[in-house]
Structure 1
Amino acid sequence: MKPLKGRLVSCTQSCQEDLMRAVFPKWKGEFSGCDAVITDELLQSDRSVLHTPLITREEINSLLVVCRNYKLHFSRKCAERPFENIISVLVKVALANRLIL
């Protein structure tokens, strides 16, 4: 842990799949790099995976709470920071497969 502008920050090296799993924890499929993948095995065992979004309504609402109350969270001096965080999450969405959005 090292201080960064008064906050303790730690960095952990990981692969892209681990990062995607951390960003989209509710996704039932797998990740191949940045791409969300529904495997044939998963599709045969659980047909509901076709209707599972990358980001659930609950997760979107949690992000919106941070944006609405940014002074209560980590970005007291910067109202734009929560919005930057949401954009960084949305950039990770695999737009090539629109069925999962």
Structure 2
Amino acid sequence: MDFQGREGEDALAEAVERVLAKIQAKYDESGIADKPFVIVKADAGTYGMGVMSVKSSDEVRGLNRKNRNKMAKVKEGLEVSEVIVQEGVIPMKP
């Protein structure tokens, strides 16, 4: 994954789409009305950097330069080469 060079962007968008579809199917099965989201994060220790919340694959394809730069590097200037797409968790309502 190269955020600045936009290499791997389509593969990431497809992965986001697949995970969102699986989550939506589970939400439908469970009667959850909320819209699913995923967390895309750097695979090598993020320290809170290189993390973004995404609700559609279009958000990955439409990253502006500022957000691409934010995702491209993590702590100590290490470049991001791999990312994890993880289900976002909706907080419980009291």
TM-score, normalization: structure 2?
0.31
Structure (1/2) with the larger helix percentage: 1
TM-score, normalization: structure 1?
0.30
Larger RCO: 1 or 2 (CA < 8 Å, sep 6+)? 2
Indicate the structure (1 or 2) with the bigger Cα radius of gyration. Answer: 1
